[in-house]
Structure 1
């Protein structure tokens, strides 16, 4: 019997989890038979993230810093998790890794390399010429952070941020497939229209006031009905379905139906999209800053024509005029007249005159295209 007791005591001491007071519990006698039941030792399971691994510390906050998007905008639940007192973990140095899908996604894309302009252009040309899927993947991954920023502009419309990002990513992938790197623009300049367009289309599908926007007339009404009402109000005319129908060329019953649906909307058109309150969902109806996708794409096609015509006049330009074209007119970060003059040893006025000549040639090409 002594051997049996010694054996059990040794076995229990091997399993003691944290403190001696816990380890003594298994050797307490229970039943009258004198047998000591096997007790499974208690244990505390926790993943401690050390301060030496900054990429895993509070991913939602760190990701927000990386994209300049606040956690409030992204609606990330980053409330602290209660930790075991026995672990005595400091809130300032360690945290439990978040399992929020959005936080996990932001933490993941933060690991992707942001390409330099030269690297991006090289990959874009490679994909354009060979359709290499690896090149396309690298281009998409390097711009995923930008999609988050664009999606954040629409996050206050009530849709889930992760869904907006997903739609924006689809727009980004479409842009990568269609992008022509030889037109002179950067990928993101081209892609932003597709990213915004896909997100806007998603919002139109989500809300009851825009789910009906499936026909050409319905879409036109969604974007222009409020603008027409405002215009009539400004002229002192009472807006009515018959008048708006005449102005837009849309049947009166469709105008009335859209007006009724919008008056019973589940999301306010006045809800601000930015902290300054300068942009609202209703602004999507006004084709000034946030134009409908079709109008955005039409504008994009015009830019493509412009770039084609610019390429056509290149052989006609002098060496210095080409410098003006590339370093000032087409450059995303154009040099000033003074900077170009100092760089190439010419006066500021000479640079201005050459720029005027180049712009005049471009305009002439565009006029030919219009004819």
Structure 2
């Protein structure tokens, strides 16, 4: 990927400001299918990097959505998102608008591939010392260990007495020190059907649902809901109340109830409702 395209990626902040980043990318307007196709054509036909930037920016929220699914590996969310953004840029570069699929569906592979690579390089299934006390025991135990292999009962007692800890703590730390990291991927000779041989890589991806389609549908629902709320605000106050009372609440009002409220006939309320619905439909189109 060119340096120019790489420079388009937003730098994801670490620490508390990650929430501000997520809010910022969530506020970036989504693209319609027509807008997306036009931008992709400008990128591929004319090398328009501003078109590439718009495609990338409008899909940053999608990367955040995917990255959140990998939070269980103990890696910084900002780093996961940043790696996913790199995958998004690669997807934008390779996206062919003539195929007939949306970018969000095409980009899943590239976003996940970059995040998977980052997890493979950084994730460790066994954390030897995770607290201050465990770190102290770890370094003291290394000094006390005189030979390879497991301690005998007498050696465990001696070390526990010297360090002022329990036998259980010594044995637990020795177990951690002596264990090996589990291979992330199964070897070529491993039987993937054996439940006890499951490797961490097999937990990375959930194939039970189409994430891209689900995400795109959810984003479209949110987008439509926002457009509906904006359209409702264009109605007069009485029409807004009628639409809200008749369609947007669980305890829906009857025509007669609204007629009594506004001191008009039920038929007049029905007419106002129909007129308001026509205005909303026109605004939504």
TM range (shorter): 0.3 to 0.5
TM-score by length of 1: 0.34
- Would you tell me which structure has more helix in proportion to its own residues? 2
Q: Which structure is larger by alpha-carbon Rg, 1 or 2?
A: 1
